[in-house]
DNA sequence: CTGGAAACGGACCAGCGACTCCGGTAAAGA
DNA sequence: TCTTTACCGGAGTCGCTGGTCCGTTTCCAG
């Protein structure tokens, strides 16, 4: 039931929808969630009317952007998690998520504040990631690559916090490396 | 020149000013920076007019709250830094700042976004803390208690990021302890 | 006690930003 | 090509929030 009735979008409509998502992603990450919707429409080269037809509310647009990001992350971790040994998989995914998350926390917060809490479409994507993280953590702990007393909530909090740390630092690869090294060292047993 | 001309405030004025600061601190931290000024006035039991007489702008109120917090932190670190040995002082201050910072990052961001950047009164307080951190870091590194390749910017970023981590976790002392242990372990040499 | 200055408070104003509406435009099938 | 109709665009609406104004209240010096 209920898979949204997919009547194929008209050519220009699909194009505009994509342009809107791209523009929103760009603008939200660089200038924050506070930017007026009109700016996003302009950045996408369409009118506000078009924006609101595709996304009935600003929050919905935010959500769509988030979902897309989470899916990207999920895909990335799937790839990394598949082949590698436990330790490599775990730390690789940690790095990937943290890097992909730059500037994303702000929307997550905005979303949480706006709706009662995160919407169902987000739940789906985030559940995938959550499950994968649980697996990665478990495997890495069994392999002795990660301290045994760490639970999933702490791991997730650390991912978010480390993202905030790197965001705070600005784009300085050397400093990023040192910070990640600090965290990774702390994550290993004893 | 320009120490603000301190004509002693009338009794009720001083009382209301204090009530406003307290209410603002409370409301901003628990419900975010987005709350209408009127809510803050109501929480303080005064009218908006009074609020805006004491703080000519919402941003100014935010700033006053921040300054007060920074001063609290500065005082706390001064105490801790004075007596203890380098390692203890460093990690003690780290913990103190992180705990005091819960929910504070959001305003810092809001402030930075609002004004061109942080106002002069904030500069003063934050410079004190920055200097103290530099000293603590240096002492701890000389004593071999903290890895030598860590610079001040990374330390500050880590403070903010760790604050975000704990905030994300909610109030769970055990989990807080584990997270701090991860970070502290990572900060020590090798 | 009392006069006047300082402070209060909340009705009011203005600007902004999310969302709507409808005349115009162009995709796609006959 | 022509008609139908989904889709576009941006001017306009409406609620919300930061900030002002001024009649009323409170403090306190003489």
B37 and B129 share one domain: no
Contact A41, A88 (CB under 8 A): no
The verdict on residue A169 lying in a domain is yes
Q: Which of B74, B186, B173 has the alpha carbon at shortest distance from B129?
A: B74
Domain of residue A148, CATH code: 1.10.357.10
Q: Which of A147, A157, A135, A120 has the alpha carbon at shortest distance from A78?
A: A135
More confidently predicted of A127 and A122: A127
The verdict on residue A5 lying in a domain is no
pLDDT, average across residues B158-175: 93
Nucleotide with minimal C1' distance from the CA of A52 is C19
> For chain A, what is the domain count?
2
- The alpha carbon of B6 is separated from its chain's Cα centroid by a whole number of angstroms, namely 25
| Residue A173 belongs to domain spanning | 58-187
A143 and A91 share one domain: yes
Rounded to the nearest 10 degrees, what angle do helices A86-100 and A120-142 cross at? 150
B102 and B171 share one domain: yes
Please state, in angstroms and rounded to a whole number, the distance separating the CA atoms of residues A143 and A141: 5
Instruction: Encode burial over B117-140: b for 16+ CB neighbours within 10 A, e otherwise.
Output: ebbeebeebbebbeebbeebbebb
Contact B169 A157 (CB under 8 A): yes
Contact A168 B186 (CB under 8 A): no
- Please give the backbone phi and psi of residue B9, each rounded to the nearest 5 degrees, phi first: -65, 145
> Does any strand C atom come closer than 7 Å to the Cβ of A32?
no
Contact B134, B103 (CB under 8 A): no
> Does any strand C atom come closer than 7 Å to the Cβ of B127?
no
Binned at pLDDT 50, 70 and 90, residue A118 comes out as low
Q: What is the pLDDT of residues A156-186, one digit of tens each?
A: 999 999 999 998 898 999 999 999 999 999 9
Q: By CB neighbour count within 10 A (0-12 exposed, 13-18 middle, 19+ buried), where does A174 fall?
A: exposed
> Does any strand C atom come closer than 7 Å to the Cβ of A54?
no
The verdict on residue B41 lying in a domain is yes
Min Cα separation A25/chain B (Å) = 19
Q: By CB neighbour count within 10 A (0-12 exposed, 13-18 middle, 19+ buried), where does B165 fall?
A: buried
Q: What is the pLDDT of residues A58-76, one digit of tens each?
A: 999 999 999 999 999 999 9
Question: Which residues of A sit within 8 Å Cβ distance of B?
Answer: 32, 34, 105, 109, 113, 147, 149-151, 153-154, 156-158, 160-166, 168-169, 172, 175, 178-179, 181-187
B86 and B149 share one domain: yes
Look at residue B39 and give its three-state secondary structure: helix
The verdict on residue A41 lying in a domain is yes
Q: From the CA of A34 to the C1' of C16: give the distance in Å.
A: 12
Sign of CA dihedral A60, A62, A64, A66: negative
B63 and B91 share one domain: yes
B65 and B145 share one domain: yes
- Among candidate residues A36, A56, A76, the one where a domain is terminated: A56
* Residue B168 with chain A: CB contacts under 8 Å: 156-157, 160-161
pLDDT, average across residues B132-154: 96
Consecutive H or E run containing A176:
helix A173-187
Contact B150, B134 (CB under 8 A): no
The verdict on residue A63 lying in a domain is yes
Domain of residue B28, CATH code: 1.10.10.60
- Please give the backbone phi and psi of residue B105, each rounded to the nearest 5 degrees, phi first: -55, -40
Instruction: Encode burial over A80-100: b for 16+ CB neighbours within 10 A, e otherwise.
Output: bbeeeebeebbbbbbbbbbee
B81 and B173 share one domain: yes
The verdict on residue A3 lying in a domain is no
Residue B3 has pLDDT above 60, yes or no: no
The verdict on residue A4 lying in a domain is no
pLDDT at A5: 52
B104 and B150 share one domain: yes
pLDDT at B121: 81
A23 and A79 share one domain: no
Contact B157 A151 (CB under 8 A): no
- The alpha carbon of B128 is separated from its chain's Cα centroid by a whole number of angstroms, namely 12
B121 and B181 share one domain: yes
A68 and A43 share one domain: no
Q: What is the pLDDT of residues A14-50, one digit of tens each?
A: 999 999 999 999 999 999 999 999 999 999 999 999 9
Instruction: Encode burial over A132-155: b for 16+ CB neighbours within 10 A, e otherwise.
Output: bbeebbebbbeeebbbeebeeebb
B116 and B159 share one domain: yes
The verdict on residue B2 lying in a domain is no
């Amino acid at each position: 039931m209920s898979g949204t009735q997919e009547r194929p979008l008209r050519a220009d409509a699909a194009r505009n929808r994509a342009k809107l998502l791209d523009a929103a992603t760009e603008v939200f990450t660089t200038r924050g969630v506070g930017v007026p919707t009109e700016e996003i429409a302009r950045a996408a080269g369409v009118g506000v009317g078009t924006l609101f037809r595709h996304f009935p509310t600003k929050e919905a647009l935010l959500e769509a952007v988030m979902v897309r990001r989470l899916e990207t992350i999920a895909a990335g971790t799937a790839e990394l998690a598949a082949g590698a040994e436990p330790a490599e998989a775990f730390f690789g995914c940690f790095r990937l998520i943290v890097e992909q998350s730059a500037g994303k926390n702000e929307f997550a917060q905005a979303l949480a504040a706006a709706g009662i809490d995160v919407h169902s479409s987000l739940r789906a994507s985030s559940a995938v990631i959550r499950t994968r993280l649980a697996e990665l953590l478990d495997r890495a702990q069994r392999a002795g690559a990660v301290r045994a007393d760490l639970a999933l909530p702490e791991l997730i909090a650390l991912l978010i916090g480390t993202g905030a740390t790197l965001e705070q630092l600005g784009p300085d690869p050397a400093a990023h490396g040192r910070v990640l090294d600090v965290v990774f060292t702390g994550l290993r047993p004893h």
